[in-house]
Structure 1
Amino acid sequence: MRYAFRTGLAAATLVGSVIVPSVAFASTSHGARSASDATAADRCTVVKRGGIGAGLDVRLTMSPKGPSVVFVDEADGSQVKDLGTLNRSHPALARSAGIDVEILNAYGSTPQLLAKTNGGTSGYYEIQNFPTLPKGCSLDEGTVVKQCTVSQQDGIGAGLDARLTMSPKGPSVVFVDEADGSQVKRLGTLNRSRPKLPASAGIYAEIVQPSSWEPQLKSKTQGGTTRYAFTDFPKLPKGCPLY
């Protein structure tokens, strides 16, 4: 039996764009806090604004949590709320929006925005770079791993399930009692550093190609001439990296 889980869960820069550090100021009983009190997230967030045509501007934000985009009316600077926000979990506008806009390389350090606001053959695609993170700032790897981790659970015989997890750090396997759902701790966890159960485990289980994009679990829980079973790990979501 299979169960699916997701634990979080694929070139022209416009002239005149402005990049500014984004620092949030909150009112307190002592007045607005100073820039020196800004959090690390504030200091590492930068914003750039540029046009994409059809009376629209885009506000491109880059932070340790990745890129995001909001759409702004070119005339009055108000947010076009009907188009929502683009980010890693929602990297492209739906077709019903009437324009083509998508974040490319959303999990990388150099994402880009691909946009086409004119339909048919009259328009063309333009690519804008997101602003670069300030010196000393970097993408939050923990956030990437959380957003890009997917799991599934499959029966492998002898009353055992295998919970197969795929993340940017590669594949991992824990073994689960099919009857009560508890982890079979004596078998431990398989991963890149421990890809195979020892012979003393009583069953055969091994991650095949643990450093690849398409690893498999090779398993055999019965003796004799029983054949090995091969189970694919779930695929990383679109755009997610593999470290």
Structure 2
Amino acid sequence: MRTALLRTAIVTAALSGAMLVPAAGAAFAAPAPAAATAKAAASEPTKVALGDNLVAHMVNSMTEAPSVTIHVVDKDGTTHPQALVSLNRAHTTESKQGTVFTLTKADTAEPVLTVTANGATRSFPLPKGKAVPAPSDNSRYEGRPVYVGNGMVAVLRNKSEGPEAWIRYVGTDWKPGDDYMTHVVALVNREQTSDKAYGASFRLTGAQTTAPVLVVTTGGVAKSYPLPEGKAGQVCSSEVTSQDMGAGMSADLSMSPDGPRVALWTSGDDTTPWRLLNRGFPQLPESAGIIARIVNPGSAEPVFEWKTQGGPMPLGRASFPALPKGCKLNHKVTEPAPTTTAGTTAAPAPKPQTAGQTSVVPKGGVAAGAEIAAEDTDNSTTVLAGTGLAAVFAALGASVLLRRRRAQR
């Protein structure tokens, strides 16, 4: 009975927002933007059935970091585009109603997805990719840890790299003196002064001064945490604009010297972004079920395009905010290609967030392999019990088909 209730609870969590975006069967192919190249386009993920009406979309290669999204599958084989769980090197573990999904060995060339429920673990290797070299020590990422709520610690630093606040998820039982070198969920510095995760927003104020302050806002209540004093320096992060994409989705757009960044959020989930787009990963694969892409990602004036609904709806388009005066891109700037698309109309101007929130793929510690493995690496192969979700998915399938027919009229 407990197992049946567990599976039903997972499905309920997965489907709470599943109807906000079109089913995969109603997905529409994105016409390739003129600036997109075969090298820049995201590769199609490897799909692995996990049982219990779940499928994992795995990405890992010599040019793409490992990532896994887990989706619910209807009885008729339709895969819901909204992910139940999203894992990567910055976010290696997630729990849904007692079932734990973990990306183990995330910094190696051969990471493994493990799924654990009721003490039973099943392992699913990802395609082979590229390992991240581990640093000789963790001193580069150590700092003064302060608990900021919602299971997170902010590690405050201000050394030769400039002011940094590494936001790490440690759990609600953490206390001063406990280990804090767990996985990163957000980062703020002079190149990205705002971020958000797990229901909280983070902003580095006075980042250009010798005495910056981290401001954490949760539930409308803001608390301040002074960083150690350091040297003054220029801030080169743009303002953040929030764009409503429709169908219960939104995007946070920002620019840094590294180029454009897009954090895609789904309604009802404020833990971590559903997907992240940047210059190296500028568009979602077709299997995502929606269109979301950065056009001309290497140019000085990139554009975000999206479409979350089927039918004759045009593509939405929005420009990225500008870098502060005096800041330059740190890569070779490419000339923008024509972006005119048949049926495309300009999207309404995005609204700046008063809290300046955004989300990025943390660099530095994550990119250099600073994460200390805290995940279970058990590779035992024990099957998750039960397949009693058929009735739930059968009912959902009928609803999806009805919605699809209405969209096609």
With CA pairs under 8 Å and 6+ residues apart, which has the higher RCO, 1 or 2? 2
TM-score range (shorter-chain normalised) is 0.3 to 0.5
Taking structure 1 as the reference length, the TM-score comes to 0.42
Task: Determine which structure has more spread, i.e. the larger CA radius of gyration.
Answer: 1
Taking structure 2 as the reference length, the TM-score comes to 0.26
